[in-house]
Structure formats: C-alpha cells, structure tokens
C-alpha cells in the first residue's frame, strides 16, 4: 500500500512540540537481576512508629488499588480508599477470566524468571522498560504465594498441586487460574485483606466517589477532589501521597470488553495537573470476543484467551463456502494461525492473532451473517478429552457464550472477532511507579509501565498485584521519608484546595448548563466510531489526522449540544457519563496525535504504511525506540512530547517472530 510518509517538520509545527532533553526513568544501577534490591537498599525508610502519622490516598480498589491499600495499612499507614462503585468488590478486575502468570515452573516445562521476562519484553514488541519487566517477573512467584495464603481457590491437579495452562506468546504453561473467574477470586482475596484493615481502623472506605481533580501545591501532590456521587457534594481529601489505580481507558472506543464505568477521568485530570501521559495509542484489540451484532449494542464480551489452549481457530478455505460449520470438512478448513505460525499456533500473542483474523475477514473469508467473524472450534478437544473435561475448564465461558448468542458451543464452533480490550498506555511512571508529579504514584492498568506495545495474556493481573503488593509499599515510603514531615496539613481554605474544588464544581455546572438535545450516549457512540475506524486495528497518517480533526469537532458538539437529564445534587449516572465523556473527548485527540506521530508499527499499534510483505508489523528502532510521554499544554493546544529512550541490554532488539 502506498501512503505518503509524514513530514516530521510539519508534525512538529502542526500537532505537537518536542522537549529538548530525554526523560529519565530513574532506573537503578547494577546488573538487571540486582536492580530491584539495589533500589530497595537506596530507598528512604519511614520508621514503624512514624507510619501512623501519615495518610495515603488510594484511588481505585481493583486488584492494584485494593492490594496497595491493604498492604500500606498493614504496614501502619492510614489509608483512605476511593472507588466510584458502591463496593470495592465491583471493580472491573472482577471481570478477568483466564488467569495470572507467574514463573513458578510447576509443570517443569522449562520456565524461569528469565523466560517470563524475555517473553514479556518480546511480547511487548520491545517498547517496555527492561528493568521494570525483570522486576515484574521476579516478584511473580510471590504473588501466587500471597494469594494462596489468602485462600484464593486456584485450580489444582488431581494430586493437589496448583494447575497451569498456556497463554499467548509463551511456549510454557505458567498461567494460574480459577476456572474462567480468576479476577473475581483474586479480587475477593485482596478485598478480604482490605476489609481486615477496615475493621482494624487503618483503612477508611470512600465508595461512590469520583475523582475529579488532583491537588498540587508547589509541584508536590497533596490530595484529591472527588464528587460524592450520591449527594453531588464536592469533597477535598488531603494526605502525604496519592496512589492512582483507576484502570484503563478502552471505553474511549465506546464498544469494548471493559465494564461500562471504566474511564480516563482520574488519569486525565492528573494529566491536566502535570502528570505525563505515556503511549496513549497502545491499545490491545483482543482476538477472541463475541462479534458486534447490531448498531445499538453498548458492550462487547470477551471469550478468554485460555480457550485457545483447546479451541482451534479457522475459516473456510473458500470464500464462497456457505455450509454450516460442522458440514465443512477438514480439507476445506483453513486453520490459518497454525498455518502461518507453526511454532506458536493458536497461542500467538493477541496483536498477531487479531490482525490475522482481520486479514482473513477483509479478504472475504469471514463467517456468519456479517462475515466479520472467524470460528473457534472445540470439536477436536471434546473428541480427545470429553465434554466434561472441557466443561470443567471453561464451563462458565461456554455458558456465557450460549446465553448471548443462543448457540451451544459444545456442538457448534464459537464465532469470534477482535474487540478493544486493554490499554497498555497510561500515566508515565519512573521505576518507583512515581509519576512526573512527585507524590503521585500510579499502579495497574492506569500506568504505562510493563507491557510495551502489546500485553501478553494473564500479565495484567500479575502487574496489578505486583505493583500493589510488592513494589508500591516500598517506594511510597521513599517519598514520605523525604517530604512527609515538611508537608503541613492543607485545610479546605488553602488557595490550592479552593482552586481545585472550584474548578471541579464549575466543570460539572458547565456540563449541566449546556442543556442541548443530544444524549451523552449518542455522542460517545460517535466518538467510538471515529476511534474504531481511524485509530483501531489499522491506522494511517491521513486517517489519524482526520480523526484528530473529527474529535475536535465532536468536542464542540458536546459542549454546545449535550443534554444531561436530572440535576447535580443527587445520584445521576447520566451526569457521570457526560463528565467521563468530556474527558474522553480531550484524551482522544492526544491518542490520535500519539498514533500519528509514531511512524512505525509495533504491537497493537499497526500503521498500514509500515508492514512487511506478509502483513507483519515493521518497527523502526532507530527512530522510535522510546516511550512517548506527553505533557499537557491546554485543551486544543499542541502537547509537548518527552522521549524516554528504551534500552535493551539483556534481550537484543530483534524482529519479533512466532513462526
């Protein structure tokens, strides 16, 4: 395909500015295996008796936030934990299905910390910080021990040892699971630890609160402003550090596998106060989701990657084949992943599997009414292992599929298609998980740290729990040790608190005052269409530039025509949605700019201009081997690009291959 290359000068003068000096990830010295220990030895400590003098605000009670809040309280800090749901147990983490990775090597199939590290760096298409990934792999085993101690009911082998299965991008089985409900079981474990601290008086739960702003005084984080979603009251909460664990922003696409409440609001408000946003365009489009079925659908459903352990992906060899799937003979089926990637087969990483499905459908081989689907078939697995064995592994997923499609996947193959699922981008953090605003730490899906341009399956739960149980509890003490005693409490009458409260209140009032004729949902749907068409699985320079223009225009539509029902002084989900949409409409422009500036294909970021002859992603390591961390300069103003160079000293930069 011929596309004109982007003129970098035009880019620099037209869509963004570039900072003069490189951004420092503050990675510790020493061999990779010693870096974390070296850092821990350098960090300032807060003595046990002093910890009780300090207050840490944790926003988000999913796996990352709940594990952090429970650990900090256990250590002696006073914690306030915020979430917008009525209970921490409803965090989106509960939706996680397939499993959590850890380098335990229980199946004795050759796994090690090194291999998990290597697979994750390679899986992320060499766009993650090596040192962070190594630390993640090294603490992965501790997570499983911690969760087992909490009573998480991981699947077990007949003899009682923990069972493992395989996930994409790996040739070993290292994924621990609890049927197709791993996130729910892990969250119940973290929630139990959290509630223990609630009853000990160390954690105060603040449910039904939406974070609206970050309070920053003299460049240091001092607290948050949040809206009580039941009363509409604006509240300021101050402390000695803020931990943000507010999840991903996949819902900028409107349709995604995320819970409907997932948003970018908290992260975006921090961005507006100085926190850099890194790699916003890195989005994971998951290959195995139930296909879109109509124009008025509001949600997509994931079919866990674990299904590809036993299910085989195929399309008919002939584009004109109209037979029912079970009537299509083996000779007439194209198991295209096994054909194209014999070494990994159906277990190639998600970005690779998604693009391959799109390629087959675009070429006319798609199945079902819309022709925008491929088959995921369990026929051979059921013949081999029996229906009961398949039911015991995936029963709840099969049940969910049947409820949604009215087809029985034990008898006919599932129909699946890629859908937006996870966001690798997020607020930029250094090695300590501290953002560019001192005292603001970012964990879990909300940060950008460990997955580069593509996350491997079962690694999000691992990262969220590593951040919350095993990294943040050490690093937050460094900030408190350095600044804690000099940070005097800020009252509500302090000018920075006043200003943040007023700015949050005026934003809500401005949205209510528009009083137009368009529902937030209809505008969000339009935004999703722009994002999917132009910033989705395949992107071009021209399309991305156009997307940025369309997003700006849609933002005007929002601020002139949105109609929010009800008032601001009671529970009003229409208003909540409008507020989150207003932030998505600012964020989406940065997303398109980031995707436009990155003139290469890597992981989930596929630029049509940069592909090999057989449609594989073509990276440009010379020009783009960096994390793009964007600094806010005003709505509609050119953002400032800070580049953090990614260095690969342990895993040599090479072309990713799963063949």
Ligand X SMILES: Cc1cc2nc3c(=O)[nH]c(=O)nc-3n(C[C@H](O)[C@H](O)[C@H](O)COP(=O)(O)OP(=O)(O)OC[C@H]3O[C@@H](n4cnc5c(N)ncnc54)[C@H](O)[C@@H]3O)c2cc1C
Minimum CB separation of residue 395 from ligand X in Å reads 16
In the complex with ligand X, the residue whose CB is nearer, 97 or 540, is 97
Show the site string, 599-638: x = touches ligand X by CB under 6 A, - = not.
----------------------------------------
Contact between 469 and ligand X by CB under 6 A: the answer reads no
Contact between 202 and ligand X by CB under 6 A: the answer reads no
* Tokens of residue 19, six digits: 């900072």
Q: What share of the chain is helix, strand, coil (3-state, %, to 5)?
A: 40, 15, 40
93, 105, 346, 454: residue in contact with ligand X (rule CB under 6 A): 93
In the complex with ligand X, the residue whose CB is nearer, 105 or 257, is 257
CA distance 551 to 548: 5
Minimum CB separation of residue 561 from ligand X in Å reads 24
CB-based contacts of 368, cutoff 8 Å, min separation 6: 291, 415
Show the site string, 296-315: x = touches ligand X by CB under 6 A, - = not.
------x-------------
458, 578, 581, 595: residue in contact with ligand X (rule CB under 6 A): 458
25, 99, 291, 425: residue in contact with ligand X (rule CB under 6 A): 99
- Phi, psi values for residue 9, rounded to 5°: -60, -40
Residues 28-67 that bind ligand X (CB under 6 A): 59-65
Residues 581-600 that bind ligand X (CB under 6 A): none
The order of strands in the sheet holding 426-427 is 17-18, 640-645, 626-631, 277-278, 426-427
459, 475, 540, 572: residue in contact with ligand X (rule CB under 6 A): 459
Contact between 210 and ligand X by CB under 6 A: the answer reads yes
Contact between 245 and ligand X by CB under 6 A: the answer reads yes
CA distance 544 to 596: 6
Q: Work out the number of other CB atoms within 10 angstroms of the CB of residue 5.
A: 9
CB-based contacts of 495, cutoff 8 Å, min separation 6: none
Minimum CB separation of residue 468 from ligand X in Å reads 8
CA distance 478 to 28: 14
Of all helices (H) and strands (E), which one includes residue 285? strand 283-289
CB-based contacts of 176, cutoff 8 Å, min separation 6: 99, 100, 101, 102, 104, 144, 154, 155, 162, 163, 164, 182
Minimum CB separation of residue 288 from ligand X in Å reads 11
The length of the chain is 659
- Phi, psi values for residue 140, rounded to 5°: -60, -40
95, 148, 162, 195: residue in contact with ligand X (rule CB under 6 A): 95
Contact region with ligand X (CB under 6 A), list: 155-163, 456-464, 476-484, 530-538:
456-464
Contact region with ligand X (CB under 6 A), list: 21-29, 121-129, 242-250, 399-407:
242-250
263, 346, 354, 601: residue in contact with ligand X (rule CB under 6 A): 263
Residues 158-197 that bind ligand X (CB under 6 A): 182-183
Compute the half-sphere exposure of residue 36: CA atoms within 13 Å on the CB side of its CA.
Answer: 18
Contact between 85 and ligand X by CB under 6 A: the answer reads yes
6, 56, 75, 91: residue in contact with ligand X (rule CB under 6 A): 91
Contact region with ligand X (CB under 6 A), list: 78-86, 110-118, 150-158, 592-600:
78-86
Cα dihedral across residues 628, 20, 442, 464: positive or negative: positive
Contact between 266 and ligand X by CB under 6 A: the answer reads yes
CA distance 628 to 643: 5
Minimum CB separation of residue 592 from ligand X in Å reads 22
List the catalytic residues.
Answer: 350
State the Rg of the chain over Cα: 24
Q: To which residue do tokens 């959290």 refer?
A: 194
In the complex with ligand X, the residue whose CB is nearer, 263 or 601, is 263
Residues that bind ligand X (CB under 6 A): 59-65, 82-85, 91-93, 95-100, 182-183, 209-211, 245-248, 257-258, 262-263, 265-266, 302, 421-422, 444-446, 458-461, 464
């Amino acid at each position: 395909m011929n596309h004109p290359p982007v003129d970098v000068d035009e880019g620099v003068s037209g869509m963004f500015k570039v900072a003069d000096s490189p951004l420092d990830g503050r990675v510790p010295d020493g061999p990779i295996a010693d870096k974390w220990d070296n850092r821990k030895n350098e960090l300032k400590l807060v003595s046990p008796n002093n910890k009780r003098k300090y207050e840490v605000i944790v926003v988000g009670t999913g796996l990352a936030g709940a594990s952090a809040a429970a650990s900090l309280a256990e250590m002696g800090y006073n914690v306030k934990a915020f979430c917008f749901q009525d209970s921490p147990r409803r965090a989106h983490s509960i939706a996680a299905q397939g499993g959590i990775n850890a380098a335990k090597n229980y199946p004795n199939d050759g796994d090690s910390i090194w291999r998990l590290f290597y697979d994750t760096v390679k899986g992320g298409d060499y766009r993650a910080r090596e040192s962070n990934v190594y630390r993640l792999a090294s603490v992965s085993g501790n997570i499983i021990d911690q969760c087992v101690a909490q009573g998480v009911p991981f699947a077990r082998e007949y003899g009682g040892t923990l069972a493992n299965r395989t996930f994409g991008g790996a040739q070993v089985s290292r994924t621990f699971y609890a049927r197709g409900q791993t996130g729910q079981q892990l969250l119940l474990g973290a929630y139990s630890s959290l509630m223990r601290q609630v009853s000990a008086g160390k954690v105060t739960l603040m449910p039904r609160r939406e974070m609206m702003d970050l309070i920053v005084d003299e460049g240091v984080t001092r607290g948050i402003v949040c809206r009580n979603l039941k009363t509409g009251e604006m509240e300021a909460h101050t402390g000695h550090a803020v931990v943000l664990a507010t999840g991903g922003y996949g819902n900028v696409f409107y349709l995604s596998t995320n819970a409907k409440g997932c948003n970018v609001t908290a992260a975006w408000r921090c961005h507006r106060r100085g926190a850099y946003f890194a790699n916003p365009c890195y989005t994971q489009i998951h290959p195995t989701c139930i296909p879109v079925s109509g124009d008025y659908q509001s949600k997509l459903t994931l079919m866990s990657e674990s299904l590809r352990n036993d299910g085989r992906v195929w399309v008919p060899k002939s584009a004109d084949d109209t037979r029912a799937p079970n009537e299509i003979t083996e000779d007439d089926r194209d198991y295209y992943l096994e054909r194209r990637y014999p070494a990994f087969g159906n277990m190639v990483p998600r970005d690779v599997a998604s693009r391959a499905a799109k390629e087959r459908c675009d070429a006319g081989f798609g199945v079902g009414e819309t022709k925008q689907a491929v088959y995921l078939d369990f026929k051979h697995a059921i013949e081999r292992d029996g229906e009961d064995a398949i039911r015991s592994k995936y029963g709840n997923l099969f049940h969910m599929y049947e409820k949604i499609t009215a087809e029985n996947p034990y008898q006919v193959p599932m129909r699946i298609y890629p859908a937006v699922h996870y966001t690798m981008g997020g607020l930029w953090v250094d090695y300590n998980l501290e953002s560019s605003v001192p005292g603001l730490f970012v964990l879990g899906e909300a940060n950008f740290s460990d997955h580069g341009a593509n996350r491997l399956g079962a690694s999000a739960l691992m990262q969220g729990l590593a951040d919350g149980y095993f990294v943040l509890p050490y690093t937050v003490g460094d900030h408190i040790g350095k600044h804690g005693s000099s940070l005097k409490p800020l009252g509500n009458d302090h000018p920075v608190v006043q200003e943040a409260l007023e700015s949050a209140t005026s934003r809500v009032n401005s949205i209510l005052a528009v009083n137009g004729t368009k529902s937030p949902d209809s505008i969000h749907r339009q935004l999703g269409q722009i994002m999917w068409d132009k910033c989705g699985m395949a992107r071009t320079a021209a399309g991305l530039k156009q997307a940025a223009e369309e997003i700006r225009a849609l933002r005007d539509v929002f601020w002139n025509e949105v109609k929010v029902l009800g008032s601001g002084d009671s529970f009003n989900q229409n208003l909540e949605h409008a507020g989150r949409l207003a932030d998505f409409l600012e964020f989406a422009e940065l997303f398109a700019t980031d995707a436009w500036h990155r003139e290469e294909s890597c992981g989930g970021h596929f630029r049509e201009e940069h592909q090999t002859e057989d449609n594989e992603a073509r990276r440009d390591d010379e020009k783009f081997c960096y994390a793009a961390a964007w600094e806010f300069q005003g709505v509609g103003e050119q953002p400032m690009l800070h580049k953090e160079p990614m260095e690969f000293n342990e895993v040599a930069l090479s072309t990713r291959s799963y063949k």
